[in-house]
Amino acid sequence: MVRTALLTLWVLALSAPVALAAPGHDGGQGTYGEADDKVVTAAGFIIIVGVPILVTLLSLAYNKLEDRRLRRLSAAKARTARADARGGW
């Protein structure tokens, strides 16, 4: 584990100067281009609306899966109870 950590740090240390000296540096604009106030505001609103929608969808999916799991457990208990009542295995 120590060997892997040291190798990772070594590779990152050697690749940092190459990344910083890359030709055609974009001046910090990134892949989208120049980000003015309108772009930043739109991105903020997308995040403000998107996160609650994502949380809601994930919560609904979790509840559906949890209900399915509980139904499966109760069905298994019912089968076990019927087998015990009959004296079966």
pLDDT score of 79: 85
Higher pLDDT, 22 or 16: 16
What percentage of residues in the chain have a pLDDT greater than 90? 54
Task: Please name the residues in contact with 32: beta carbons below 8 A apart, sequence gap of 6 or more.
Answer: 39
Q: Output the average pLDDT for the chain.
A: 87
Q: What predicted TM-score, i.e. pTM, was given to this entire model?
A: 0.55
Higher pLDDT, 76 or 46: 46
Here the tokens at position 74 are 């109760």
Cβ(32)–Cβ(39) below 8 Å: yes
Q: Break the chain into its structural domains and give their ranges.
A: 61-89
Region 7-23 average pLDDT: 83
